[in-house]
Each structure stands twice: as structure tokens, then as C-alpha cells.
């Protein structure tokens, strides 16, 4: 089993696959508080139904470029908002998107401030630590 960093929790573990009804599903196994933990990563061949339905480029957590996924989701949201005919629904959706974006921009600004004056390696470690 290859050793990797778990994309779910950031802990080091071992990549493994489980076969269910002829399909392989990926997991990362590692210890947490003395117990074995198995975190689901996704189907080995990707989320074909999700990709066909939403076109987000998600295969599984190991392969996902979350920045690209975010850009695709934002683009879809903006297109949906432009197409919304009901003014009340549109206003509610816009308010919700604004709320989510504002909350996350505060977190991004905080990460940016914490990262000033540090080397690239320190910044990468800090980002990895904050995602775990």
C-alpha cells in the first residue's frame, strides 16, 4: 500500500482499495487516537455520474483540483443567477452567495495575513495545516 497524505484530514496514511460489486473504491487508512480510521476518497475511476451531470472535473479526492472545481461552481452559480426569472428567488440566491463568499473571504484574508513574511515552504505548510 502506498503511503500518502489523507486528503480528508491531512494525516499520513496508506492508500488502499476495496472492491464492491466489481467497482474499486479508494480509502486512506491511518491511526487516530490509537484506532484505525478508514477515510473514503472516492471511486477509483471517478464520479462519472457527477461529472456528466455537473461537469465539475471531479474524479476523486486524490485527483481533484479544488481551485478549478471552485471556479467551475462559481461560473455555474453566476449563469444560474443570470437565468433566474423569479426576482424574489434571484434576490434570495444572491444574498446566500454573498453571505458564503464574504465569510470565506474573511478566512482567506486571515490566511493571507498570517502568511506574510514567511518562506514559500512555511506558507505551504501553513495552508496544509489549516486544511487538515
Q: What is the pLDDT of residues 47-99, one digit of tens each?
A: 655 555 556 656 566 666 778 778 878 888 898 899 999 999 999 999 999 99
d(CA 120, CA 16): 31
pLDDT on residue 119: 53
Q: Give the per-residue pLDDT at 81.
A: 92
Average pLDDT over residues 110-131: 62
Model's pTM, two decimal places? Answer: 0.47
d(CA 22, CA 11): 29
Grid cell in block for residue 15: 492508500
Rounded distance, CA 15 to CA 60, Å? Answer: 13
Which pLDDT belongs to residue 61?
62
Which pLDDT does position 73 carry in this prediction?
82
Amino acid at each position: 500500500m502506498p503511503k500518502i497524505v489523507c486528503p480528508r484530514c491531512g494525516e499520513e496514511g496508506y492508500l488502499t482499495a476495496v472492491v464492491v460489486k466489481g467497482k474499486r473504491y479508494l480509502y486512506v487508512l491511518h491511526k487516530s487516537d490509537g484506532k484505525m480510521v478508514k477515510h473514503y476518497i472516492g471511486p477509483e475511476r471517478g464520479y462519472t455520474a457527477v461529472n456528466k451531470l455537473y461537469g465539475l472535473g471531479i474524479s476523486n479526492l486524490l485527483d481533484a483540483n479544488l481551485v478549478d472545481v471552485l471556479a467551475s461552481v462559481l461560473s455555474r452559480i453566476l449563469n444560474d443567477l443570470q437565468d433566474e426569472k423569479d426576482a424574489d428567488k434571484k434576490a434570495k440566491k444572491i444574498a446566500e452567495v454573498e453571505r458564503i463568499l464574504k465569510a470565506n473571504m474573511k478566512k482567506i484574508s486571515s490566511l493571507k495575513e498570517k502568511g506574510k513574511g514567511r518562506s514559500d515552504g512555511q506558507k505551504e505548510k501553513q495552508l496544509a495545516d489549516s486544511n487538515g
